[in-house]
Every structure is written in structure tokens, then in C-alpha cells.
Amino acid sequence: MKARVVWLILCCIWGSTWLFIKIGLADLPPLTFAGIRFVLASLILTALVLLRRVRLPRSGKELALIAITGVLTFALNYGLVFWGEQYISSGLAAVLQSTFPAFGLVIAHFYLPHERLTTARVLGVLLGVCGVAVIFSDQLSIAGSMALLGSMALVLSALFGSYGNVLVKAYGGKIDPQVLAAGQMVCGFVPLFMIGIPTEGNPVHFHWTTMAVVSLLYLVVVGSVIAFALYYWLVRHMDVTNTMLIALVTPAIAVILGMIVLHEKLNWRLLAGGACIISGLALIVFRKRHKSVSMIEEEP
């Protein structure tokens, strides 16, 4: 029962972060906004790591893994998310980023021997690609060139983020999750600041409205630190295939919140494309669940 409650809380948190990113972007520039989020989150995580006195990475391979995946996951992935969401709705951004698991399956095929592509997984990936194609179709004439570029940025963010996750799964199993996340955030916010501050200006002079501060704090405390702690608790207490179902629910929550709070409008391309993407993910997830159940039934 407790695991199900945590699962629901995570769905709500990750479904709502898209809304708070969009609200914050009304006053804050994207790259520095993302960078500040991860500076603050990494400070909190580092404090928790020091209090727990856990083992810190020492080998060159572990440090290199943290640096590379930090750039992929927090600089490129989130940098593109924040930049792209300036030009598209929060709901559309969440739907496009939900291609994350599909990219991950393809990349995992080359890094993880037990995660090979199967017919069901290929069909799921193809459905996701079709969904993206439907959303992109005529996007230029409907919403303009910047919306098209914003949509492309979200798909690229999913590619970079999934690549980082696969590398962690393949080589980072011995690194403490909080240590890994804190190190990744540090390696991620540095490039964001290196690009953001010269092009977007001094953060002290930003338009720090009440909603901008609230959005930032929500993304730091709830969307980063609390969500991270809940997720790693959940993977220890719930089957992995069940945790994957979160990816099916968060886009729907993001779309609904965008409609209610920001009055974002739906169009048939978003509905049709989103349905294809979610169906592809469902095919992958439920196929994995069925396979896991079959393996359990066959055990003596």
C-alpha cells in the first residue's frame, strides 16, 4: 500500500514539474534558470551525503562516468527542456519527453546484454516515432519556426537523457544514488552557467517575481530532492516494470494541469501523436510485465 502511495505521489510530482518550469520561464531565462535549480539541489544532496558519510567515488572511471552522465543528463537534457519549453506548451513538452524510454531501449541494446531489442520493443519504439512525426507534421505552419525548434529540442533532450541513464545502469551500479545525483548536477550546472550567464546576463538582475521564486523552490525541493529520494525508495520496494508505468501517467497529468492552470489548448495532432507515444510505451511496459510474470510462474 505504501509503495502505491509513493508511486502516485511521484506521478503527481513529475507531472507537475512541467507546469512550474513553464511558469518560471515567464520571468527567468532558460539556461541559467536550469543551472540555479541544480546548484541549489546539489547543495542539498551534498549535505545529505555528508551527513550519511557514504563512500565517495575515487576511481577515474567512476569520476569520468559522473562527469559524462552529468553533462548528458543535466546540462544537455535539462538545458534543452528549459530552452524548448519557452516556445511550446508544458503539456506538449511532457508528451515529447515521454519518448525517453523508447530512446533508452534502443541505446540499451548496445550496452546492456539483458536489454536486447525484441519485436514488441521495436513496435513500441516505432509507435513513439510515429507519434512524434504526427506532432511535428505541419508544426511549422501552425505554431511557427520557434515552436518547431522547441519541439525538436524536447526530443533531443530525451535522447541525451536516456543515453546518460543507460550509461549509469551499465557502469554505475556501485555508486551511491545520492552521490551520483549530486555529482551529476555539479557537472551539469557548470556548462549551463558557462553558456547561460554570458548570453542571458547576471542572475542578480533577473526579474525575480514571487512566482519565479516559488517555481524555482518547487523544482529544487519537490521536483529534484524529494522526487529523487522517493524514486530510489520506490525502486527498492516495487517491481521495475511497475515503476516504468510512471512514464505513461505523467504526460497526461502535465497536459491536464497545463489546460487548467495555463489555459493551454489541445489540437488533434497532440492528441493523436500523444496517443501513439503512450501506446508505444504501454506496449513496451506491459510486454515486460508479462515476461516477468511468465518467468516467475516457470520457477520451481
CA distances from 183 to 52, 73, 294 (A): 16, 11, 39
Query: For residues 270 and 221, which has the higher predicted lDDT (pLDDT)?
Result: 221
Specify the pLDDT at position 127: 81
Q: How far apart are the first and last CA of the chain?
A: 28
Instruction: Dump pLDDT digits (tens) for 63-108.
Output: 999 999 999 999 999 999 999 999 988 888 888 888 887 788 788 8
Measured CA to CA, the distance from residue 287 to residue 121 in angstroms comes to 8
Specify the pLDDT at position 295: 30
| Model pTM score | 0.86
Q: 131-154 as b/e, with b when 16 or more CB fall inside 10 Å?
A: bbebbbeebeeebeeebbbbbbbb
CA distances from 27 to 93, 138, 191 (A): 19, 29, 21
Identify the CA nearest to 93 among candidates 255, 281, 261, 271: 255
Q: SS in 3 state form for 127-147?
A: HHHHHHHHHHCCHHHHHCHHH
Return the DSSP state at 6: H
Measured CA to CA, the distance from residue 234 to residue 290 in angstroms comes to 20
Spatial contact of 107 and 166, defined as CB atoms under 8 Å apart: yes
Instruction: Dump pLDDT digits (tens) for 22-47.
Output: 999 999 999 999 999 999 999 999 99
Spatial contact of 241 and 288, defined as CB atoms under 8 Å apart: yes
Q: What residues contact residue 58 under an 8 Å CB cut-off, 6+ apart?
A: none
pLDDT of 187 > 90? The answer is yes
Alpha carbon 85 to its chain's center: 13
Confidence of residue 294 (pLDDT cuts 50, 70, 90): very low
